A and B are shown apart, each in its own frame.
Chain A
């Protein structure tokens, strides 16, 4: 009996990892094809602008709110700890460095993976199920060039700008709590922030959204293109797009943190 359980568990894990590796390989080929089309031919003029409006303009409000509340929550938690050690005027330095370097990019990307990624995946999946993607191919357009390249461009260009908005929201939300609510001296709050937050932090905080934006677009479009038939297939594509994009953001964030930390040290050395 135990033998049959072990065999069943082995077969299940073999199927799971086999499917996962196969899916990763398929996604890699899909992404390579997308970058090839991005470099080979400019996208259709009528497709890029509407997607940029959807990704950028229509997400701005929710991203600013996200950043604002992140900053406020960070301020609440940080202030109590800094107060124990008598360094309340330094709270801005930690909060703003965290928001600009890490929390702003990651949480804004997570919000957009849900809002933009799920919506893209559902749209692509609906087009797949209703044979619109096949129709594109029959009418002389390459579906990846027509659908995926504009979305990749829109995410790469718009998500860094949205992250900047999230960062501003976070900085001002934190300042609101620290200065206006807890009464931290504003001059000292901003002076320590200026001294502690480096240009490289801002640079690193803008590199991450470019990578995250690319991952969101490629994963969402891939899930949509590979959708199974029916409403269940569309729903599953939207869910998988968010979950996989979220995991990819976390993994990419880890590796980017390693690389950017090293780069930051080199930058600091050069600066001296």
Chain B
């Protein structure tokens, strides 16, 4: 059974609002040391916001986010900067620094903490090789790289400081199927090389099946009814495959017909699919299933 001491990251009743737009509402979750959690959900449900809360790039409007027992919003600037060095972040577009070479990008964090240049050079080469890139890419600028190469350089840069927690924001988005699987493999290898907790945000169900120990599905607030929880699923990938919640099924199977029916119901539209009037009547009596939790 997990305890609070096992949790590296906790969210306690976290809500986030940007102006009038509420993105997250009363989210509570724990991420245990050593596990790989994959967060899935439709666009706009707050997955990237969740990652940015973990690393302190965003502050919650309500609730608390803790990292290794410390409340992030209580930390002073230099303390937060120190904690961030324990977290690696692979951004959705890799976020490489345009004005620096690949070498300087990967070396950036190591220079920030004051490592010696010869050690930096050795580690840059090592981390680039770990992600399948040769020394030849070191002098290149990010604009000269393909999408897959940029992601791999971004991964090398994030891993260069040997973080305890790795965050991946849609690591395979925009990549071809083969390169996507290369990235999945790199995520698995990074985890195998050193004990690491990982949080992956993705739409890619193949990634979920390959890397996840546990899956959390978020749902867009605009489509929730009443006081429904925003986390509509938590469990293993196997439990995800067996989940009967139509919203989860629609996402996992990529079935747009399910999406269209929910949108009609939520907007109160008087139109209904004429070929399925009974299904529409059934939806009006829908009650969400209890949230599934992983058996401890």
Query: Which A residues contact B (CB, under 8 angstroms)?
Result: 50, 126-127, 130-132, 134-142
A136 to B84, CA, bound (A): 11
Q: In B159-213, which residues have CB < 8 Å from any A CB?
A: 161
Chain B residues near A138 (CB-CB < 8 A) = 55, 57, 84, 87-89, 158
Specify which of B84, B97, B113, B157 is in contact with A137 (CB 8 Å cutoff): B84
Chain B residues near A50 (CB-CB < 8 A) = 99
| In the complex, B258 has a CB within 8 A of chain A | no
Given A139-B157, A142-B77, A142-B81: A134 and B95 interface contact (C-beta under 8 Å): yes
Most chain B CB inside 10 Å of its own CB: which residue of A132, A134, A135, A138: A138
| In the complex, B229 has a CB within 8 A of chain A | no
Specify which of B52, B77, B108 is in contact with A139 (CB 8 Å cutoff): B108
| In the complex, B85 has a CB within 8 A of chain A | yes
A79, chain B: closest CB distance, angstroms = 48
Q: What residue of chain A has the Cβ atom nearest to residue B48's Cβ?
A: A131
Chain B residues near A126 (CB-CB < 8 A) = 98
Chain B residues near A127 (CB-CB < 8 A) = 98
Which range holds the interface residue count of chain B? 20 to 34
Chain A residues near B28 (CB-CB < 8 A) = none
Residue contacts A-B, CB under 8 angstroms, 16 given: A126-B98, A130-B98, A131-B91, A131-B95, A134-B95, A135-B95, A135-B96, A135-B97, A137-B81, A137-B84, A138-B84, A138-B87, A138-B158, A139-B84, A139-B108, A140-B113
Chain A residues near B84 (CB-CB < 8 A) = 137-140
Chain B residues near A134 (CB-CB < 8 A) = 52, 57, 89, 91, 95
A94 to B81, CA, bound (A): 56
A202 to B233, CA, bound (A): 71
Chain A residues near B57 (CB-CB < 8 A) = 134, 137-138
Chain B residues near A135 (CB-CB < 8 A) = 89, 91, 95-97
Q: Across the interface, do B97 and A140 meet the contact criterion of CB distance under 8 Å?
A: no
| In the complex, B93 has a CB within 8 A of chain A | yes
A64, chain B: closest CB distance, angstroms = 27
Q: Which are the 10 A-B pairs with shortest beta-carbon distances?
A: A140-B112, A135-B95, A139-B109, A131-B95, A138-B89, A131-B91, A132-B95, A140-B85, A134-B57, A139-B108
Q: What residue of chain B has the Cβ atom nearest to residue A140's Cβ?
A: B112
Interface string of B99-115 (1 = CB under 8 A from A): 10000000011001100
A142 to B82, CA, bound (A): 11
A6 to B95, CA, bound (A): 48
A251, chain B: closest CB distance, angstroms = 29
Chain A residues near B96 (CB-CB < 8 A) = 132, 135
Q: What residue of chain A has the Cβ atom nearest to residue B109's Cβ?
A: A139
Chain B residues near A140 (CB-CB < 8 A) = 81, 84-85, 109, 112-113, 161
Q: Given A130-B93, A134-B95, A137-B81, list of 17 further CB < 8 A pairs?
A: A50-B99, A127-B98, A130-B98, A132-B95, A132-B98, A134-B57, A135-B89, A135-B96, A136-B97, A137-B84, A138-B55, A138-B84, A138-B87, A139-B109, A139-B161, A140-B84, A140-B109
Q: What residue of chain A has the Cβ atom nearest to residue B108's Cβ?
A: A139
Q: Across the interface, do B95 and A130 meet the contact criterion of CB distance under 8 Å?
A: yes
Q: Across the interface, do B113 and A131 meet the contact criterion of CB distance under 8 Å?
A: no
Chain A residues near B157 (CB-CB < 8 A) = 139
A140 to B56, CA, bound (A): 12
A262 to B77, CA, bound (A): 43
Chain A residues near B55 (CB-CB < 8 A) = 138
Q: What residue of chain A has the Cβ atom nearest to residue B154's Cβ?
A: A135
Q: Across the interface, do B93 and A131 meet the contact criterion of CB distance under 8 Å?
A: yes
B1, chain A: closest CB distance, angstroms = 33
A93 to B74, CA, bound (A): 62
Chain B residues near A142 (CB-CB < 8 A) = 77, 81
A81, chain B: closest CB distance, angstroms = 50
| In the complex, B92 has a CB within 8 A of chain A | yes
A55, chain B: closest CB distance, angstroms = 15
A246, chain B: closest CB distance, angstroms = 27
Chain B residues near A141 (CB-CB < 8 A) = 108, 112
